[in-house]
Every structure is written in structure tokens, then in C-alpha cells.
Amino acid sequence: MEIVYIKTPMGIAKITGDESGVASISISDEGVISNDIPSVLQEAVQQLTDYFEGKRTNFDLKLNPKGTDFQQKVWRVLQNIPFGKTMSYLELSQKLGDVKAVRAVAAANGKNPLWIVVPCHRVIGSDGSLTGYAGGLGRKMWLLEHENPSSQQSLF
């Protein structure tokens, strides 16, 4: 498994993967930025860089996250939430065909190993509130604002 650490506006992203695909992307406040990017991770680094520069609204990477069948199913549905849009945990459960699975869906969402690429940050509470996020609610808010910046109208 190859590993690379890159600087992002939100901290240091750790990307792991191999020829089978990207296995994980996580964020931390600490880490040493890599000097060399393994060839199998170059596309992931480029696409994340493009995302943060506002040049990319979706990802086209070969993914290989580890998880249960149910988690994999939730993560696939998450990838269908459009850039700049949000969905509640209840709506996500409905898309999966079981409104009673809200807690299981939330738990699977919290186990998402592919930060940003599988956009769990786009899932919010039914009342519109920002709810749990492994990277912290400040990062979740930053990502949602990055994807849907409010346009202040001029007063003059």
C-alpha cells in the first residue's frame, strides 16, 4: 500500500492506495508533507488539488475502500449527492430503501474512509443542522461553503 501526505487548505491529507485503487483519504492537523508522490496516487493528488482550487466538482478515481457490504452500499449512494447540494440522513435512508435504517446509515457515513471523494460532508440533519463529521464540524462547514459559496450582494 502506497501513502502520500499533501497539504490542503484544511490540513494535511493522507492518501493511501495501490493499483487496485484509492483505499483511504483522511485529514489531520499534523503530518509531514511528502516529497514524492507514488505513481498510483498521482491522479488522486491532482484531483484533490483541483477540487480545492475550484477546478473540479466531481471525482473520477478508481476506489478501493474497505468496509462491509452495507457500508459500501451507503458510500455508493453518497457519491451521487451532487456538488453543492446536501441530503439528510433520513433522505439517504430513503434512497437505500429503509427509512428505519437512519442510525445504521449514519454509522456507515461516519466510517467513510474516503474524505471528500465520497462526500459524507454533504449529509446533514433533517432540520438542516450540521451534525457529526469525523473531520470536525468546522471542516464540514468549510467544505459546504467551498462547494456552495454565498454570494453577498452589494449594498451600494
* pLDDT tens sequence across 97-152: 998 999 999 999 999 999 999 999 999 988 888 887 777 889 999 999 999 876 55
156 pLDDT above the threshold of 70? no
- The answer to whether 20 and 63 are in contact (CB under 8 A) is no
Domain identity same for 74 and 134:
yes
Domain identity same for 46 and 93:
no
Q: Is residue 155 part of a domain?
A: no
- The answer to whether 86 and 66 are in contact (CB under 8 A) is no
Q: Is residue 11 part of a domain?
A: yes
Q: Which of 120, 123, 143, 144 is an active site residue?
A: 120
- Band of pLDDT at residue 72, cut at 50, 70 and 90: very high
Domain identity same for 74 and 40:
no
C-alpha of 60 from chain center: 13
Q: Look up the domain containing 15 and give its range.
A: 2-52
Let me know if 120 is a catalytic residue. yes
Domain identity same for 88 and 48:
no
Question: What burial class does residue 134 get, using C-beta atoms within 10 Å of its C-beta: 0-12 exposed, 13-18 middle, 19+ buried?
Answer: middle
- The answer to whether 5 and 31 are in contact (CB under 8 A) is yes
Domain identity same for 48 and 73:
no
Could you tell me which residue, 154 or 75, shows the higher pLDDT? 75
Could you tell me which residue, 131 or 39, shows the higher pLDDT? 39
- Tell me which of 12, 27, 52 is where a domain ends: 52
Domain identity same for 31 and 91:
no
- Tell me which of 27, 52, 77 is where a domain ends: 52
Share of the chain above pLDDT 70, in %: 96
**Single-letter residue type at 76:** R
Q: Is residue 35 part of a domain?
A: yes
Q: Is residue 63 part of a domain?
A: no
Q: Is residue 64 part of a domain?
A: no
And the C-alpha cell for 91? 433522505
Q: Is residue 60 part of a domain?
A: no
Q: Is residue 154 part of a domain?
A: no
Domain identity same for 86 and 36:
no
The CATH number assigned to the domain holding 76 equals 1.10.10.10
Number of domains in the chain: 2
- Band of pLDDT at residue 30, cut at 50, 70 and 90: confident
